[in-house]
Structure 1
Amino acid sequence: MDKTLLASAASCALAFAPALHAQDIGTTTSPKDQADVTALASQLQALKSSYAREVRRLRELDMQVQALQARLQGKVPANTLPSEPVAAGAQSMAAAGADHSAPRGSSDHPASEAGSPAEAAQARPTRSIQDALLQEHAVFDRKLTIENGITYSRYDRKQLTLNGFLALDAIFLGNIAIENVESDSLTYNLAARYGINPRWTLNLDVPYLGRKTVYQKGGAGGSAAAIAEEQTTGSGIGDVSLSANYKLFAETGAVPDTVLTFGVTAPTGRAPYGIDWKVIERDNDQYIRFAVPEKQPTGNGLWQANIGASVVKTMDPAIIFANLGYIHAFPRSFGDIDTDPQTRNPGRVKLGNAYYFGAGVAFAFNERTSLSLSFSDKLSAKASLRNKDTPWTKVIGSDANAAAFNMGVTYALNQRTTMVTLLGIGLTPDAPDYTITFKVPYMF
């Protein structure tokens, strides 16, 4: 069939060429010749459009045959993946059938409209790419998605402290202590994504986390060889966040798919301010050498608002994405911000504003599986404290730069369920050493 169409197109082109040559050399043409040229040109355009439609139909039929063969071999369940290409194929076949019933040269059915359903299906990202972008961007063609996720984070930081002075520029007199903080956290996250319309989606994230932190300090009892160790834990609901995504631009030509994000985070978790610390060791002059919190916090204690933007651009065979945003924390008063259980000191806390950005690329291996690689960074300014009738005081060491390299793999288990695996590797001391995340989004 394809060879016949190509032969017909070639013959039309050969018949059309002499007429053009005759015009170039100034040969006088009659109205009948001009009508023949116009008819041949219309026929050639119709044959080209028909050939393009048939090629698209062949591709779609080939995908359906492969899916049926995989089902017969027991590789996939009865609700065959991919569902979207099959539906797109049916739409394009119906559109092609409707076009065959009309005259080929009719201006009421231009060639550009004949293949539009299939072209739209081709332009739409595959299922695996949509699953990957759901973690960094937003997908608007899903009515409701419920996502269950578990994240494990590991943080280990060592610090050398010197308590003394340097004599004769060479001899240190005093205590040398090594402080080590090891933290493990396990977070269960329940998220819901609801698509209001093709431009708006709503997102709700509810975390529940458990933390265990081990504090180690050298120089116990004034001896550099002695090490003291204490462990504290904490668990409970974290800070709940609600956000909305708005599609500003759809991808067309050089314009990337652009989405704006607006969100708010409520301080539903246990705040870190006012938690009593227990003293492990004091000096002879009652100076506290080693103290740890009695329990671990599960939230930051403040209301936060964020605004961000993310873009996605298709660069066959890959898709690149990037995002940036700003987080503002609102000051809040607490009845006690002191760590001493014997003292009650009310005050206000203001976290530093934060900026985040990232970029990455996603590859679709097939309709089920995709791989994404990305870099992310979050820059946080210093926090400030204020007691009653005193000015704001910045907290030394409270600023942070948390950068990470991330790698993710998505696999569609069936038509509605996906398995997402993410690995994050910390690149700066303020970022966790590594994080491992497993998510299972379910589409309704």
Structure 2
Amino acid sequence: MAKPLLYSLPLLLLAPSVFADDPATDAKRAQTVADVIDRPGVLTPKGQFGIEASLNYTQNSSNRVSVVGYSVLPALVIGLIEVSDSDRTTLTAGLTGRYGLTNATELEIRMPYVYRNDQISARPISEGASDETINRDIDGGGLGDIEFAIRHQFNFDTSPYWVGSLRVKSNTGKSPYEIDTDPTTNVLEDAPTGSGFWSIEPGISMIYPTDPAVLFASVSYIYNFKETFDISGQSAEIDLGDTISLGAGLGFAINRDLSLSIGLSHQTILESEVNGQKDDEAKLLQLDSLTFGINYALSRTTSINISAQAGLTEDTPDFQLNVRIPFTF
């Protein structure tokens, strides 16, 4: 019996599409774990083209207490204590196209549309204020950062299988550094849809089939190119902190059409620099998240993948829900 889809692995960063021809019927269908063992190509086969529609929902909230002043006694602070609360919701609709250049090499392009809604409120509690002094509701949308990628599978005859990748992200989205801020609240007047930086991400992934399961792991490094922006009438060269990404997980078969997966991912975002110096507010960020996924084969050419991600650290988004529907021609 053929096993469920290798494609069901939502954290498999290297190759979110896995398609192959059925050797018995010559009909195209999503590749299964059994196919990986018999024919270990995990990228889009030569000459085939696949499209993936996706929708991502991200919810993130934070509460922050800022103290501007000095302490006279352990329980007495002279100055201003401000409490702020922010809730950020992001919807990203993406369309991804993949083409098999050879049986070992795959090309990809992804075009995202981003909608954001930020609700920010704050009040100084040291002044006895009864009303919130800041209450902003910012929303907006537009084209995000378009991405290009190439992947290559290094080995076919023995497992584990190794796949290298190189991803390039553009700056087509609206950068937060290009948006005016409210001078009284220091809050952006519009919602950004991109980072504002070009970046390049080399990476390598490992796939180890052990029927009916698949183990996978990946590591990558995101390098952001420096950009110069006009901030408050002054030119500033910003070097956004690079990112080290690690991920690992397990996908396993329930039946012929249904499979589940679980994975853990970690990101370390290095400190940013402004004009060659570290910004006073820059800090090293540690992002950890746990993901559960389910995949169901709708037909020989189409499946649906749903994954939910929970943030494990303070700086990680609280919750993410991702729905992907890949199909091939």
Match of 2:257 among 356, 368, 386: 368
| Residue identity in the other structure for 2:146 | V
Q: Deviations over 1:330-362 (max 9, x none)?
A: 11222x123xxxxx1122111111110100000
Identity %: 26
Shift of 1:85: 7.2
- CA distance in structure 2 between the partners assigned to 1:169 and 1:248 by the alignment: 61
CA-based RMSD of the aligned residues comes to 2.6
Per-residue Cα deviation, 1:153-201 (whole angstroms, up to 9, x for no partner): 0000111122332223332333322111110010000101111111100
Partner of 2:289: 404
Look up the equivalent residue of 2:187 and give its one-letter code: V
Counterpart position of 1:439: 324
The 8 Å contact of residues 36 and 42 in structure 2, kept in 1 or not, is answered as: no
Residues 242/178 of structure 1: CA separation in 2 closer, same or farther (3 Å cut): same
Residue of structure 2 aligned with 1:330, choices 221, 225, 232: 225
Partner of 1:264: 168
CA deviations 1:362-415 (Å, max 9, x no partner) are 0111221111110111111111112xxxx4343523532221111111111111
Paired residues for 1:193-272 under 5 Å: 193-219=98-124, 222-227=127-132, 228-250=134-156, 252=158, 255-272=159-176
CA distance in 2, matches of 1:385, 1:83: 52
* TM-score normalised over the length of structure 2: 0.85
Structure 1 residues 416 and 162: alpha-carbon distance in aligned structure 2, compared to 1, 3 A threshold: same
- CA 1:395 to 1:148, structure 2 compared with 1: closer, same or farther past 3 Å? farther
Aligned to 1:394: 279
CA contact (8 A) 1:251 1:258 kept: no
1:183 aligns with one of 88, 103, 106 = 88
Alpha-carbon distance in 2 for matches of 1:397, 1:258: 36
Corresponding residue for 2:315?
Answer: 430
- 1:32 paired residue number: none
Read off the aligned partner of 1:262 and give its amino acid letter: L
In structure 1, give the amino acid aligned to 2:298: L
Note closer, same or farther for the CA distance 1:122–1:222 as it changes in structure 2 (3 Å cut): closer
Return closer, same or farther for 1:166/1:347 CA change in 2, 3 Å cut-off.
closer
Q: Offset of 1:308 from its aligned partner? A: 0.3
Match of 1:277 among 181, 185, 192: 181
Sort the Cα spacing of 1:138 and 1:429 in 2 relative to 1 into closer, same or farther, 3 A.
farther
Residues 154 and 316 (structure 1 numbering): CA distance in 2 closer, same or farther, change over 3 Å? same
With over 3 angstroms needed to count, the CA separation of the structure-2 counterparts of 1:122 and 1:315, relative to structure 1, is closer
Distance 1:369 1:432 in 2: 28
Quote the offset at 1:218 in angstroms: 1.9
Q: Is the 8 A contact 1:269 1:299 kept in 2?
A: yes
Task: For residue 244 of structure 1, give the secondary structure of its aligned residue in structure 2.
Answer: strand
SS at match of 2:234: coil
Return closer, same or farther for 1:375/1:138 CA change in 2, 3 Å cut-off: farther
State the 1:83 CA deviation. Answer: 8.1
1:416 counterpart = 2:306 = no
Please list the CA deviations of residues 43-81 of structure 1 after superposition, one character each: whole Å capped at 9, or x if unmatched: xxxxxxxxxxxxxxxx79xx9xxxxxxxxxxxxxxxxxx
String of CA shifts for 1:129-164, please: whole Å, max 9, x gaps. Answer: x9xxxxxx9533372110111111000011112233
**In structure 1, how many angstroms separate the alpha carbons of the residues matched to 2:280 and 2:168?**
25
Name the larger-Rg structure: 1
1:111 — aligned with what?
none
Greater helix percent: which structure? 1
State the secondary structure of the residue aligned to 1:366: coil
**What residue ranges of structure 2 are gaps of 5+ in the alignment?**
4-19, 27-31
* CA distance in 2: counterparts of 1:410 and 1:85, whole angstroms: 23
Question: Which range moved further: 364-373 or 222-231?
Answer: 222-231
Q: 1:292 aligns with which of 187, 194, 205?
A: 187
Partner-residue secondary structure (3-state), 1:300: coil
Q: Report the Cα distance in structure 2 between the residues aligned to 1:412 and 1:245, rounded to whole angstroms.
A: 24
Q: Secondary structure of 1:293's match?
A: coil
CA distance in 2, matches of 1:395, 1:363: 46
Q: Shift in Å at residue 221 of structure 1?
A: 9.6
Q: Distance in 2 between matches of 1:231 and 1:378?
A: 29
CA distance 1:279–1:122, shift in 2 (3 Å): closer
Counterpart selection for 2:22 from 84, 98, 112:
84
SS of the residue 1:358 aligns to:
strand
Contact 1:146 1:192 in 2 (8 A): yes
SS in 2 for 1:124: helix
For residue 177 of structure 2, give the secondary structure of its aligned residue in structure 1.
coil
Q: Is the 8 A contact 2:82 2:126 kept in 1?
A: no
> Is contact 1:321–1:360 with CA below 8 Å preserved after alignment?
yes
C-alpha displacement of 1:263 = 1.5
CA change 1:440–1:362 in 2 (3 A) is same
Q: Does 1:346 align with 2:245?
A: no
Q: C-alpha distance in 2, partners of 1:365/1:384?
A: 48
Aligned length: 304
Query: How big is the shift at 1:251?
Result: 5.3
Task: Kindly provide the amino acid, as one letter, of the partner of residue 178 in structure 1.
Answer: V
What SS does the corresponding residue of 2:186 show, helix, strand or coil? strand
* Secondary structure at the counterpart of residue 22 of structure 2: helix
For 1:172, the equivalent position in structure 2 comes to 77
Is 1:382–1:396's contact at 8 Å kept on the other side of the alignment?
A: no
Give the deviation of 1:224 after TM superposition.
4.7
Q: For 1:313, which of 204, 208, 223 is the aligned residue?
A: 208
Q: Which residue of 1 aligns with 2:57?
A: 152
**CA distance in 1: counterparts of 2:63 and 2:203, whole angstroms:** 34
1:102 is matched with none
